Chains A and B, each alone.
Chain A
Amino acid sequence: MRSPWPAQVLALGLAWFAVAAIAAPPIPGARSFSAGLTPATGILIRTESGRITLAPLKPSELLGGSSARIGTRSVLATVVGRSLQANGSLDTPPLAAYITRELPAVWRYAPQAQRHGTGAPQVRVEVRSLHGRAGELSLREQPGISIPVSVRASQTLLRGADGTPWYEGSVRLEIPVAAMLAAGTYSGRIEISQESP
């Protein structure tokens, strides 16, 4: 069976994990990552209990400063058939367009020594649903239902006491409120890839 990854990538990955497990010098100023690995080179993601659980949605996030109580309305009655009719034209205030979840300093990357000075790494962050679709999370109870999730990633160059460069990245997830049609737990994966220049 053919591997979905080129042999070179798999080998590189194995070598990286080996180095990470054996060497593991701490990155100055780095946060504690639950994986327990602090690679000399490579990329790590910070988690708690092996997964990231985002804060649940709160109604206050949706309503913002608005209220469900609209106030007073004056309407003019008209005759329709043998009845009176008046149109209240209730104008519902818009909800927040998105809810966002910040994952500050969720990954870090330490380049190999020969790559120091070659510029910032190309790090790609993707969210994938339980079906593997990019940019979505799946409703766990009904995986056929999903919500779109936009990813905004940023990274910062940091340096250790010895001048060793490493990068720390944050991720901002944006979920459009209009797409929220069903309650429940939405699940998927966050994939963080360091790509070749």
Chain B
Amino acid sequence: MKLFARSLAITALAAGSLIATQRAEAQVAVDVDISLGGITILYYYDNINVNIPDAVLASLLMPAGCVAGVSCVVPSPGTIDATNPSPGRLNWLGTVNGTPAPTDLSSIDLNLQHVWAVRAIGGSSANTTVTIAGPALPSSIAGASGSIGVVSRAIATGASATCGPGSTTATFADPGLGVALQGSVCLELDFSSAVQGPFIGSGDTGDTVYTLQVTGT
């Protein structure tokens, strides 16, 4: 019986040693820290050349039924009786007067999609704000003859900024550093004084159409 107990003890010891061989013989550990401070990166174009083909601008300005640079079919006014203003003459009074009216030249939205992007973590809160500003409105982009007026500026995340007053800031949750959050700018333009291009603003001549500012809020 005693021999059995001793054998059992030896067996247990051997089993323990086997366990020990599968474990750490010695281990040390130490606390470790790393600080990731607030980081905000704004990506932007410092110069954007927007080409507006004649056909594009014409199709925007012309009502339906018009072929840019060629003709514009106006609905018939129907039957109108001719008059006889003087002997030997007939007069027929048409109603072609440019109606329906083209788009309001003084307020045409230009949505510039994906022209800025932000990577951000940290700051005083978990949000980031991008603000659009620039010269006092209305400003203008000078052309060879005439100019294009800038009526308002707006900004938004994603692909569609809505023009008009009141959208000059975009605040959003910090997107992190992996994938940049992209955004758009909308310029409300006035073409009523545009005569002949090119219309050159921004860095080409020192004029500035808009500025962007990012803050880790």
> Whole-angstrom distance between the alpha carbons of A179 and B179 in the complex?
10
Do B113 and A180 have beta carbons less than 8 Å apart? no
* A72 in contact (CB, < 8 A): yes
| Given A6-B19, A59-B39, A69-B46, CB of A90 within 8 Å of CB of B32 | no
Q: Interface residues of B toward A: which range?
A: 35 or more
- In chain B, positions 21-44 with a C-beta closer than 8 Å to chain A are 21-39, 41-44
Contact of B52 among A7, A44, A77 (CB under 8 A): A77
Closest chain B residue, CB of each to CB of A185:
B35
Do B45 and A180 have beta carbons less than 8 Å apart? no
Do A188 and B32 have beta carbons less than 8 Å apart? yes
Contact of A75 among B28, B31, B48, B174 (CB under 8 A): B48
Most chain A CB neighbours (cut-off 10 Å) among B59, B114, B122: B114
Do A8 and B17 have beta carbons less than 8 Å apart? yes
Using a CB–CB cutoff of 8 Å, the interface residues on chain B facing chain A are: 16-17, 19-39, 41-53, 56-57, 59-60, 103, 108-117, 119, 121-123, 126, 159, 163, 174, 176-180, 182, 189
Do B126 and A85 have beta carbons less than 8 Å apart? no
**How many positions in chain A have a CB within 8 Å of any CB in the partner chain?**
76
B111: shortest Cβ distance to chain A, in Å?
5
* A187 in contact (CB, < 8 A): yes
Do A75 and B29 have beta carbons less than 8 Å apart? no
Do B23 and A5 have beta carbons less than 8 Å apart? yes
Contacts of B159 in A (CB 8 A): 87
Interface flags for A70-99 (1: CB within 8 Å of B; 0: not) read 111111111110111111111011010000
Closest chain A residue, CB of each to CB of B17:
A8
* A54 in contact (CB, < 8 A): yes
